[in-house]
Structure 1
Amino acid sequence: MTSRERVLAAINHQTPDKVPLDLGSTLISGIHVSSLHKLKVALGLTGENDPVKVFDPFQMLGEVDDDLRDVLGIDTVPLPSIKNFFGFKNENWKPWTFFDGTPVLVPEKFNTIPEPNGDILQYPEGDRSVPASMRMPKDGFYHDSIMRQKPIVDESKLKVEDQVEEYSIMNGEDLAYYEKEAKRLYEETDRAVVFGGVPGTNLGDIALVPGPGMKNPQGIREVEEWYVSLMTRKDFLKEVFSRMTEIGLKNLKLFYEAVGERIQVIVLSGTDFGSQNSPFISPALYRELFKPYHQAMNEWIHQNTQWKVFIHTCGSVFDLLPDLKEAGFDILNPVQVSAAKMDPKELKEHFGSDFTFWGGGVNPQSTLPFGSPEEVRQEVGYLMNTFKPNGGFVFANVHNIQAKIPVENLLAFFETFQENR
């Protein structure tokens, strides 16, 4: 099988010739630039002093290139979005040295000038004339949002238009880029093409709520205020999600006209519905606030395309899975096996025919960073043998591979995958 055929078989719940591997096709299945550099050096793909590109400046994820895809047998490739979280393009690369000494290349508009305390600030669209929207603390590993919430003194002044300002209808220039790049990836590679999603579909993604790419965000833009609003401003949020869905549906149609079936997977939602111990929201609240809009977009996709729909939702979401299934999601990520009620055998038994599990490769909170290489091997082997029967499984870490992972553990992770795939 080609890589694309392998992924298609798995997500269609057929048994592929071997388990597909993803690394770097999405912003939630990538690898921190520091760990990427260590891995490439260990594999002989780069030198100690050779830089790697920062593919996602928000989370400081590194660019997985074709050399690494070939060596590891990665079966996926991303269709990159035009702009990053900060609202500027990844272009005109410049060298920088990360806090831990990793040599990297960052986009031209990525600010590398530290504050007096050593923090690095990032600015919307790279515009230093407006307040910063992100902060990477000195010796940190990724950016945190800076809350720029304006005081809400009059509830009647909340406007749907303010809350959806960043979501626009895709223009001809953007669509031409996606058409050209999707065609290139489809024809010049045999890998499954994965797209991170069109504007308007990502309802309530907390990484996007603060408006990191916006110069002057209005509306509900503070994390705690947003979560409170799920209970106290339901009618307003329904209007917001309805408007977003209108935009999302228009963009899905335009995007499909541009790329057709040259992509195989689309990420529709990155909203986290689970905490470590339980869902963030009840199934009843999901049905009321999110499900109707997810259903509308997923129904359009399934009726008009062959794409499979990917939802990223961290934490303990077992109780929400029946509704996510009915909402039309095909792929569940990151499959946080360390969270409550997320036992791999239970997931496979109860939902193995409903979802493709994309992730679930190892416990990223303890085993991968703190376990021995042998413990990594044992856990990866167990999880692979649990999830892979009858397809419906794409191997990846649970969420992004973080910084400070021992390189011996990284090698054990991928070597054990190869031995069991």
Structure 2
Amino acid sequence: MTSRERVLSAFQHRPADRLPIDFSGHRSSGIAARAYPALRAALGLPSRPAYVYDPIQQLAIVHDDVLDRFHVDTLELGRGFCQDERWWADWTLPGGQPCKMPIWALPEPHGAEWVIRAPSGRIIARMPEGSEHFDQTWWPFLDGPEDLTRIEELYAEHMWTGIASPPGPSVQSPAELAAGAARLRASTPRAIIGLFGGNLLEMGQFYYRMDQFLMLLAEDPVRVHRFLDALVEIHLRNLERFLGAVGPYIDIISFGDDLGAQHGPQISPRMYKEFFQPRHQLMWTRARQLAPVKVMLHCCGGVKPLLPLLVDAGLDAINPVQISARGMEAHALKREFGRDLVFWGGGCDTQRMLPLGAPEEIRTHVRQQCQALAPDGGFVFQQVHNILGNVPPANIIAMYEAVASYS
């Protein structure tokens, strides 16, 4: 099987020649730039500069030699862009390692911390001393009445939509985006993931702040519906533009909405059904009408109570399958939802096991997760979310050795 065939077999819920593997195929399956040079050294690979393609989380671009070593079957669409050095600038990670950062999101010192500014000059992200990721600092609709006609205009003024990964501003037209996607498709047998977003609950939290938006959901539903209606209109317009350009060249489109927390969903099933399910269904249905893509939702936390509603909305795959959260035990998820959902993740716990376990513990844990999630297909191996900077390279290697031995 090719990598593309292997990944797509998971969506057909049939076994492949081996487990399909994702590593750095999207912004929640990667590795911290601080950890990446040590991993390359442990693999005996030549030293290469760490390119930080996600400035907020400080994730590294994983080079082809590492992808080949771990038999990775996925690639993120952004890998086809910004390959010229003019898009990168020298920077230094919090741990002191040199790296390359996109020129359009270059942090600047601000007292004892680092900040990133919007084009207006407003500080929209800050990283305090000792931290290894940026936090949002400004919420456009937090104070005063919101102007819904300015939602898209204000994308540049808050962190998660204002700080782009490649291609970022290197692409100025749908034609350029399509050309880059076509070149990438022709260059690789790997399944290509296109990152779209289309966030709903999270966009409310980005604009109003998390606590404020959760209160609005409970106390002012009419106001929330107005916001979400205006937002979905923008998402659908952008979806048409995005898939109109890259639809023939990608296999999976990734939406995002962190609906869960450590101990369960952020919102009740009733609230999800009222505010979010119809709008998810509208976007996911339209995506399939525009291109032959599979729909994946990045959704952290203990979201098991919401899974039947997500399935009914038309979801194909859920990621990262946070097995350390309440209700997310792998055997039970597979038994109850294995015929309806692809589990893209859940292969290794990154909260405790990957950073703190011994290599043999990790091998045992990974084999157990694969035994729970892999039977009859419907599983793409990925650790739960990104590999953080404190993970020893021996543990990462043990994780992928266990996947290979299971396969």
Same fold, TM exceeding 0.5? yes
Normalized per residue, which structure has more strand? 2
1:154-233 map, 5 Å: 157-166=145-154, 173-197=172-196, 201-205=198-202, 209-210=205-206, 220-233=207-220
- 8 Å CA contact retained: 1:359, 1:396: yes
Distance 1:100 1:74 in 2: 28
- 8 Å CA contact retained: 2:33, 2:60: yes
Partner of 1:379, secondary structure, is: helix
Partner of 1:94, secondary structure, is: strand
Residue 91 to residue 23, structure 1, CA distance change in 2 (3 Å): farther
Q: Which amino acid aligns with 1:158?
A: E
Shift of 1:232: 2.2
- Spell out, residue by residue over 1:163-195, the C-alpha distance to the aligned partner (whole angstroms, 9 max, x if none): 443469x99943112211221121111010101
Q: Which amino acid aligns with 2:114?
A: I
- Spell out, residue by residue over 1:342-377, the C-alpha distance to the aligned partner (whole angstroms, 9 max, x if none): 110000000011111001011111111111111111
Shift of 1:284: 0.3
1:152 is the counterpart of 2:143: yes
Distance 2:85 2:212 in 1: 31
1:284 is the counterpart of 2:270: yes
Partner of 2:267, secondary structure, is: coil
Distance 1:235 1:204 in 2: 15
- 8 Å CA contact retained: 1:167, 1:247: no
- 8 Å CA contact retained: 1:23, 1:29: yes
- Spell out, residue by residue over 1:170-229, the C-alpha distance to the aligned partner (whole angstroms, 9 max, x if none): 99943112211221121111010101116xx221325x844xxxxxxxxx4323212222
Q: Which amino acid aligns with 2:258?
A: D
- 8 Å CA contact retained: 1:34, 1:403: yes
Shift of 1:58: 0.6
Q: Which amino acid aligns with 2:149?
A: E
1:408 is the counterpart of 2:394: yes
Distance 1:92 1:306 in 2: 32
Distance 2:173 2:201 in 1: 24
Shift of 1:412: 0.8
Residue 151 to residue 344, structure 1, CA distance change in 2 (3 Å): closer
1:370 is the counterpart of 2:356: yes
> Normalising to structure 2: TM-score of the pair?
0.90
- 8 Å CA contact retained: 1:362, 1:379: yes
Which residue pairs with 2:161 in the alignment?
none
Which residue pairs with 1:121 in the alignment?
115
Structure 1: which 5+ runs fail to align?
211-219
1:19-38 map, 5 Å: 19-38=19-38
Distance 1:325 1:399 in 2: 21
Q: Which amino acid aligns with 1:228?
A: M
Shift of 1:92: 2.6
Partner of 2:115, secondary structure, is: strand
Q: Which amino acid aligns with 1:16?
A: A
- 8 Å CA contact retained: 1:334, 1:359: yes
Which residue pairs with 1:46 in the alignment?
46
Residue 152 to residue 97, structure 1, CA distance change in 2 (3 Å): closer
- Spell out, residue by residue over 1:34-69, the C-alpha distance to the aligned partner (whole angstroms, 9 max, x if none): 12221112112232xx42100100100001122221
Distance 1:177 1:166 in 2: 24
Q: Which amino acid aligns with 1:20?
A: P
Shift of 1:316: 0.6
1:103 is the counterpart of 2:89: no
- 8 Å CA contact retained: 1:376, 1:412: yes
Which residue pairs with 1:395 in the alignment?
381
Count residues in correspondence. Answer: 394
Q: Cα RMSD between the aligned structures?
A: 2.5
> Which of 260, 264, 284 is the matching residue for 1:274?
260
Shift of 1:91: 5.4
Residue 167 to residue 402, structure 1, CA distance change in 2 (3 Å): same
Which residue pairs with 1:216 in the alignment?
none
Normalized per residue, which structure has more helix? 2
**Identical-residue share of aligned pairs (%):** 35
Which residue pairs with 2:129 in the alignment?
138
Distance 2:365 2:208 in 1: 39
